[in-house]
Every structure is written in structure tokens, then in C-alpha cells.
């Protein structure tokens, strides 16, 4: 490692037999580190350090002594931070800690391949752990055997807006709070003469699956791994407890705080435990407590039936207004409305959904010409409208919806560049446009939206030459767009500030994989699948793959949406956010293509996390879950119910769900909600909220669009390498080489089979029974109508 004269690091170089791992530390003087910092009277200060030796530094400010020491040992770097109060009064800052300095700033291709994204940071009651990960899947673990109060990101800002990049990360060693309940609650001050010492370990890790093992090795703490983070009632919970000393595992049922039930004990080695008491929906808390005094937590979710969530989403699509807008995110709830109407018709609710849609549609589109009339340059709006019109057609059987979808698809073809990409005009987007315009294929999966239309046109085209012509024209467009993605891979653009961005990658992946699924030629299928797998692997650094928390597990990492969606003035990690479901489509398609059961587990755990945005007790739909432990914001709120008046107030968001605002922030009927800077920029009291209701919180409905495609009508079974049968959304009874499958809901019409041996299979659908013999392999078994 190279240590600068001021005590900060320039880089760390880990050398091993396979390859060297270079960890860059930022050169930006505002974010260099490790460096002591503090906040007092709302002002941040840095502590100047003087060199005591090549590896030791100290500083003093206002009678507080700050120490920093480095040590290289056993393939890890040890950073020891010392804080001592030499004064006569209590030291009680707003916060004080280490600006870590790892360079996480991803701004260009291929530079970002060598940066480490802060993928997971987690405070436990009395220790800290997490990891940074690069797009090349290199991992740097970080942990401390001492309690760490909190952490926060240094998000960038651009022209008053929250940007799409992170400079570095801070470890908040003392913090005035409020903080999540899991965090230590006693690290707020330092008494006169008191000294605290924190040790941080930085180490290379050889894969995400090994992260927790490295934490145990470095800090001797317990860890929890769940086989599934989302289950259904009465399914068996399977948990692995990892520890190097005796550890007890407890569970706390929903609404039974502080009443812990002992599941079992380990004796210093990994141990698999089972629990059969999941007898009600809700969040179950797990606690692993080791004999050396450490405690770690996990959360497990027991879901309702999948159909319950779509029905609740339809209600929310009515109560949380769907608006004519410059942005599709304002009317995305129409998907939930029409999809629920398709499967669960309700004359009253469905009429409200369709009446609203018929009011807003002509405000945004010339339905005769088949062209957008509001913000045409944001072409993803029109692609999503194509998708919505297909769902409206399937729900209401009104062919006019499909004709309009086809005309809008023709308009989108005109927006394709010579390379096949769907493009918007130069000067709109991230500033990464070329002569053909800004690359937009992977801004809310434009090719997938077109392909959804194509699949319907293909069926109609079997009997109607006009629809067959439409099918061929639109399929050709999709193929050109997807072929462009296959060539570009992760060297593409997206909307907004350019970065190694979640949606740019997940939308490319899902479109490549979906297109692979419809290929009849195995060579073509393999080609697109290989690129999709390359893309999802690079995306892993932006996923919460191992966090032991059902609310977040599988969530993708976005942090700039709050300013647009719910008009909060700060960046914060939204995970899951509506766009997390883009990854769910991707892993679902990849599971069908490869049979890799890891993709299926990821699909179902991520979907389960996303469904929790509907409160399981009240049915209330929330916008997103915020990962950050402490974010002070100026939040818009309704002054008085149903008055149309609003105010901003100071509040702190702390690892929690955030409510939607479309229920009270509405537009006058007949008016289009227009994006304006005043909506998102400014401090408390210095701006007025426009009266047109512009916000983007209805993007949360992507989860329910995904639910309908992936899980609502489907069940899954697979056989593992040991010959055990596992199931999702169904129960399986095994009798030698016979499998009897009982779907959990009447709405299930298909079961995906992934087996390694010959089986006689019976499926008891709601009003149909299917019996067949299946050989080794995978595929769908569907209900006959």
C-alpha cells in the first residue's frame, strides 16, 4: 500500500498467485482518506494529521485526540482508529468518523471496471461488515469487531440535482442519531478522559459466496444465511449458522417483539437448522448470539398469496392517481389496473381504471396518427405505452388498443439509428450522445415492450395477413435493437448522468435473455444467452445478493430516484425500487434458458422483497425501501387531508419504507403533469410546489407487472444434485419416481419442471388434472383449457 504524507492512502495492492488486486483511493482532496472528520453545528470539518512513523499518524482538535495506524498482516490491511477526549467536557458531535477514501466514482467506460462499488455496508449491534465489488467481480471485504454507529455515502450533486455517482464512503463511529434499531444506540458521545478504538480490516475475497466466511475469519463473529428469504405459510425455513464458536439461533415471530424462541445451537462450525413454525404472514426476526458476545440479525418474510398483491396494487393504482405526464412513471400503475382486470375482473374497480386511462391517453398521444404529443423525445414513454396497450387489449378484448399499440410501434421504428438502437435526439439525456442521438434501448426496456406486442401480433398473424405483416415489421425492429445490445454489451448509454448504472445493465440483460427465449435456432439462443450472462455477472456489484434481510435481499442499488419519484431533496439508496424488478425479469429468463437454480432463488427472493412494498397488514402500497441509516431530508407532505395544500418539513429517513405522494399530490383533470426543476431542487421554504401533480412514484408498479409475468400463474419445481425436490408456489408429494404437484392458488395454470431423472408427474390444477411422464430436462407443463 502507498501511504501519503497526510496519512491518507493512495492505493492498496493485494498480490496473490492468481492476479494482483489494485484498490484505488481517490485523489479528490474533498474525499481523500482514510481521514478523520466530524460534524458539529451542522458544519463538517476534517482533522489534520501529523506523521509519527511511516504507518502511524495523529491529530488534535478542540481537546479531542485522533489517531490512525496501518498494519499489513495475513493478506489484509488493518486500520486502527483511536479517539480520545482529553478535555473536561463531554464530546458530543453530530457525528465523527473516518472518511474511508476508497475511490467509488464510476464515470466512464472502461474506467469503471477497476472501481469498487460500495455494494453492502451493514452495522450489527456490536460489529460491522460489508464489501465493495467491481464490475469485474473483484471483491474487497471490510469489517470491524467493534460496534460502528453508522455509515453514509458521499453522493455527487450536479446543478442542484442528486447525481448518479458516489465519491466514497464514510464510517460514522459516533453518531447522534436517530439510527435503525439494529445499530448500536450508545455511540453518541465521549466522556472526559474516555478513549475508544476501532479496528477495520480490508481484504480481498474470492467470491460473493465467501464474504461471510471471511468476516468470521477476521472478526470471529456469527453469520446467518437463509436458503430463502421469502416463503409461504407453513413452509420449512432452512437456515445456516456460520460461526467459529458456540452460537445460539433464536426467532421472533411477527408482532411478538422481545419474545424469542430458541431454534438450536451450533458448536463452532457451520450448522444447518430448520424451523417449521412459520404459521402467519409477516416478517420474522432471527438472532444469532455467539458465546464470545457477538450478535447478528436476519429477517425472513412469509408472504400472502401472490394474487393478494396484484389485487392490492389495483386498488393503489386508483387511490394513487395515474396522471397524464411527461414521464411514464406517473401512469405506470395502469399496468396493475389492467393486469388485475385480466385475472380478477371487478366491474366497479375495472371501470375506474379504464375511465382514468381513457382520460389521460389522448392528453399524451394523438390516437389517430399514433404519435406522442407530450415530450416525444423521451421515447421510452411511448415504448411503455405500447406495452400497456397490449395489456389493456388482453384485459378488455378491445382491438382498438392493439391497433394503437401497433401504430406507436411503427413510430418507434422511425427512432431507430443505423446501428439498430432506439435513440432520442442529440442533447437529451446523459451527454453521451453521438451523431445518431442518445442510446435509449435500455431505458425501461424498449425492445422488451416491442417484443410483448410482437408476441401477440404473431398469434393474430396466423389467421390475419395484416397482423402478420405487423409482426414481421416489429420483430425485425426488435432484432436490430437486441443485436446492437449484444455488440455493445456494457459500453452503452442511459438516461441521465453517465455511470455504471443499474438499469442500463439489467434492462440490457433482460432484453437479451427474453429475445433468446423466443429463438427457435439453438445457435442464436446460445449467442444471446451468453451475452446476457456476461451482463448479469457485471451487474452483481449493484445487487444486494447476500444481505440477510428479506426487505432488501436481491434489491438493486439505485440512489437518485427519490428526488423525482417522491420529491425528496437528497440521494439515498432505494432498494428495492420499482426498477429492481428489471433484474427479476432478467434472472427469470436466464433460469428458463440455463436451468441454473441460483437464478430461480434470486428471482423469488427479489420478488418477495419487492412485494413487501405493500404493507402485509394494511394493504398500503409504499414507494420504496431506503437502505441508508440516516438521511436528513426536506419532505413534502399534505398540510391537511384532501385540501390540495402542501408543506415541507424536516425529517430523518432511517432504513425504512417511504410512502408515495400521488395519493394527495394530484393534477387538475384534463391537465398534463410537467416536469419542472422546482419540483426537486431547493431547500425548505424557498420553493413552491407546482399544482400539476408531477412526480414519478407510480414506477413502483413495475413490481406487479413483473409479478404477473413471473409468478402469479406459475409454479416451479426442481431437482438438486442430491436428488431432492424443491418447489416454489406449490406443494410436492414424492412417491419414488412419482411427483404429485398441488399449486398453492387456483390462478396457477403452468408448472415449470427442472429434473434430473425420469418421473411420472401429476398436477392438480384448480379444475383440471394433468398426468404425464417427464424425462431429464426442463420445460413447462400447462393446464389445458
3-class secondary-structure state, position 338: helix
User: Do the beta carbons of residue 37 and residue 88 sit within 8 Å?
Assistant: no
Is residue 260's pLDDT more than 50?
A: yes
Mean of the per-residue pLDDT values of the chain: 95
Distance CA(151)–CA(166), nearest Å, equals 14
Place 684 in a pLDDT band, splitting at 50, 70 and 90.
very low
Going across the sheet that includes 730-735, the strands are: 730-735, 738-743, 759-764, 769-774
pLDDT score of 4: 97
Task: Inform me whether the pLDDT recorded for 428 exceeds 90.
Answer: no
User: In the predicted model, is pLDDT for residue 685 greater than 70?
Assistant: no
pTM: 0.96
Q: Is 117 in contact with 524 (CB distance < 8 Å)?
A: no
Rounded mean pLDDT of 170-192?
97
Angle, CA 776 vertex, CA 771 and CA 782 arms, to 5°: 35
The total of other beta-carbon atoms located within 10 Å of residue 268's CB is 12
pLDDT at 155: 97
pLDDT at 550 over 80: yes
Q: What is the pLDDT of residues 461-471, one digit of tens each?
A: 999 999 999 99
DSSP 512-575: HHHHHHT-SSHHHHHHHHHHHHHHHHHHGGGB--S-SBTTTTT-B-B-S-HHHHS--SS---BS
Percentage of the chain modeled with pLDDT above 70: 96
The class of domain 306-428+435-709 in CATH terms is: mainly alpha
Domain 2-217 has CATH 2.70.40: no
pLDDT tier at 161 (50, 70, 90 boundaries)?
confident
pLDDT digit string, tens, across residues 651-678: 999 999 999 999 999 999 899 998 865 5
Is the confidence at residue 359, as pLDDT, over 80? yes
**pLDDT at residue 744 tops 80:** yes
Residue with cell 437464478: 599
pLDDT at res. 600: 99
Structural domain spans, the chain: 2-217, 223-303, 306-428+435-709, 713-782
Q: Quick check: helix, strand or coil at residue 506?
A: helix
Q: For domain 223-303, give its CATH number from 3.40.50.300, 3.40.50.1980, 3.40.50.2300, 2.60.40.1930.
A: 2.60.40.1930
Mean pLDDT (whole number) for 193-200: 98
Confidence (pLDDT) at 249: 98
The pLDDT of 627-644, averaged and rounded, is 83
- Give the mean model confidence (pLDDT) for residues 373-389: 97
Per-residue pLDDT at 680: 54
Range 679-686, long-range pairs (CB < 8 A, 24+ positions):
679/564, 679/567, 680/161, 680/563, 680/564, 680/567, 680/569, 681/160, 681/161, 681/569, 682/160, 682/569, 683/569, 683/634, 684/634, 684/648, 684/649, 684/650, 685/648
Amino acid at each position: 500500500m502507498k501511504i501519503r504524507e497526510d496519512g491518507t492512502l493512495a492505493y492498496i495492492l493485494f498480490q496473490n498467485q492468481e492476479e494482483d488486486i489494485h484498490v484505488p483511493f481517490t485523489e479528490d482532496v474533498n474525499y481523500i482518506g482514510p481521514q478523520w472528520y466530524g460534524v458539529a453545528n451542522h458544519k463538517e470539518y476534517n482533522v489534520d494529521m501529523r506523521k509519527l512513523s511511516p504507518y502511524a499518524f495523529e491529530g488534535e482538535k478542540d481537546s479531542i485526540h485522533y489517531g490512525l495506524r496501518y498494519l499489513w498482516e495475513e493478506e489484509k490491511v488493518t486500520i486502527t482508529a483511536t479517539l480520545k477526549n482529553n478535555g473536561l467536557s463531554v464530546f458530543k458531535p453530530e457525528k465523527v468518523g473516518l472518511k474511508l477514501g476508497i475511490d467509488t466514482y464510476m464515470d466512464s467506460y472502461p474506467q469503471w471496471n477497476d472501481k469498487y462499488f460500495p455494494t453492502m455496508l451493514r452495522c450489527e449491534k456490536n460489529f460491522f461488515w460489508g464489501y465493495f465489488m467491481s464490475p469485474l467481480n473483484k471483491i474487497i471485504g471490510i469489517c470491524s469487531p467493534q460496534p460502528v454507529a453508522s455509515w453514509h455515502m458521499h453522493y455527487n450533486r450536479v446543478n442542484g440535482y442528486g447525481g448518479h455517482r458516489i465519491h466514497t464512503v464514510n464510517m460514522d463511529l459516533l453518531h447522534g442519531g436517530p439510527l435503525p434499531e439494529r445499530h448500536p444506540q450508545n455511540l453518541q458521545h465521549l466522556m472526559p478522559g474516555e478513549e475508544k478504538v476501532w479496528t477495520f480490516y480490508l481484504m480481498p475475497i474470492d467470491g460473493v459466496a465467501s464474504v461471510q466466511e471471511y468476516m468470521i475469519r477476521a472478526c470471529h463473529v456469527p453469520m446467518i444465511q437463509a436458503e430463502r428469504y421469502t416463503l409461504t405459510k407453513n413452509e420449512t425455513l432452512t437456515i445456516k449458522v456460520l460461526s467459529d464458536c458456540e452460537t445460539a439461533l433464536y426467532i421472533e415471530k411477527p408482532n411478538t417483539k422481545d419474545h424469542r424462541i430458541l431454534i438450536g445451537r451450533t458448536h463452532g462450525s457451520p450448522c444447518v437448522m430448520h424451523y417449521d413454525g412459520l404459521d402467519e404472514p409477516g416478517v420474522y426476526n432471527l438472532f444469532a448470539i455467539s458465546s464470545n458476545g457477538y450478535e447478528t440479525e436476519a429477517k425472513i418474510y412469509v408472504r400472502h398469496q401472490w394474487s393478494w398483491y396484484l389485487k392490492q396494487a389495483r386498488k393503489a393504482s386508483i387511490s394513487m392517481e395515474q396522471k397524464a405526464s411527461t414521464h411514464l412513471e406517473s401512469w405506470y400503475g395502469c399496468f396493475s389496473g389492467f393486469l388485475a382486470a385480466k385475472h380478477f375482473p371487478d366491474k366497479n374497480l375495472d371501470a375506474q381504471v379504464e375511465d382514468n386511462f381513457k382520460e389521460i391517453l389522448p392528453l399524451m398521444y394523438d390516437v389517430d396518427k399514433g404519435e406522442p404529443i407530450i415530450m416525444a423525445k423521451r421515447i421510452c414513454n411511448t415504448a411503455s405505452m405500447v406495452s400497456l396497450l397490449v395489456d389493456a387489449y388482453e384485459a378488455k378484448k378491445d382491438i382498438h388498443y392493439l391497433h394503437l399499440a401497433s401504430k406507436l410501434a411503427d413510430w418507434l421504428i422511425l427512432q431507430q439509428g443505423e446501428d439498430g438502437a432506439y435513440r432520442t435526439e442529440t442533447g437529451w439525456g446523459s451527454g453521451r450522445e453521438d451523431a445518431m442521438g442518445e442510446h435509449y434501448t435500455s431505458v425501461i426496456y424498449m425492445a422488451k415492450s416491442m417484443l410483448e406486442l410482437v408476441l401477440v401480433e404473431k398469434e393474430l398473424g396466423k389467421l390475419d395477413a395484416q397482423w402478420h405483416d405487423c409482426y414481421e415489421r416489429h420483430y425485425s425492429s426488435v432484432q436490430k435493437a437486441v443485436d446492437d445490445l449484444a455488440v455493445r454489451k456494457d459500453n452503452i448509454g442511459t438516461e441521465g448522468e453517465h455511470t455504471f448504472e443499474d438499469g442500463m445493465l439489467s434492462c440490457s440483460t433482460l432484453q437479451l435473455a427474453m429475445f433468446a427465449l423466443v429463438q427457435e435456432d439453438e445457435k442464436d439462443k446460445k449467442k444471446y444467452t451468453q451475452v446476457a450472462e456476461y451482463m448479469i455477472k457485471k451487474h452483481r456489484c449493484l445487487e444486494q445478493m447476500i444481505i440477510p434481510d428479506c426487505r432488501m435481499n436481491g434489491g438493486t442499488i439505485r440512489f437518485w430516484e427519490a428526488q423525482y419519484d417522491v420529491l425528496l431533496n437528497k440521494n439515498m439508496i432505494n432498494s428495492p425500487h420499482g426498477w429492481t424488478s428489471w433484474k427479476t425479469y432478467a434472472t427469470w429468463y436466464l433460469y428458463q434458458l440455463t436451468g441454473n437454480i441460483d437464478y430461480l432463488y434470486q428471482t423469488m427472493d427479489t420478488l418477495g422483497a419487492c412485494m413487501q412494498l405493500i404493507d402485509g397488514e394494511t394493504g398500503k402500497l409504499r414507494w420504496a425501501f431506503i437502505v441508508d441509516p440516516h438521511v436528513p431530508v426536506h419532505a413534502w407532505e399534505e398540510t391537511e387531508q384532501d385540501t390540495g395544500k402542501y408543506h415541507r418539513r424536516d425529517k430523518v429517513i432511517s432504513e425504512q419504507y417511504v410512502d408515495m405522494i400521488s395519493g394527495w399530490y394530484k393534477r387538475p383533470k384534463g391537465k398534463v403533469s410537467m416536469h419542472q426543476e422546482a419540483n426537486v431542487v431547493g431547500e425548505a421554504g424557498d420553493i413552491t410546489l407546482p399544482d400539476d401533480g408531477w412526480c414519478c412514484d407510480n414506477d413502483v408498479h413495475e413490481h406487479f407487472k413483473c409479478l404477473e409475468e413471473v409468478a402469479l400463474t406459475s409454479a416451479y419445481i426442481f431437482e438438486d444434485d442430491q436428488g431432492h425436490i424443491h418447489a416454489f408456489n406449490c406443494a410436492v408429494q414424492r412417491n419414488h419416481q412419482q411427483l404429485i404437484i398441488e399449486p398453492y392458488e387456483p390462478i396457477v395454470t403452468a408448472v415449470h419442471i427442472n429434473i434430473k431423472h425420469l418421473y411420472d408427474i401429476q398436477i392438480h390444477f384448480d379444475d383440471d388434472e394433468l398426468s404425464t411422464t417427464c424425462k431429464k430436462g426442463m420445460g413447462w407443463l400447462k393446464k389445458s383449457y
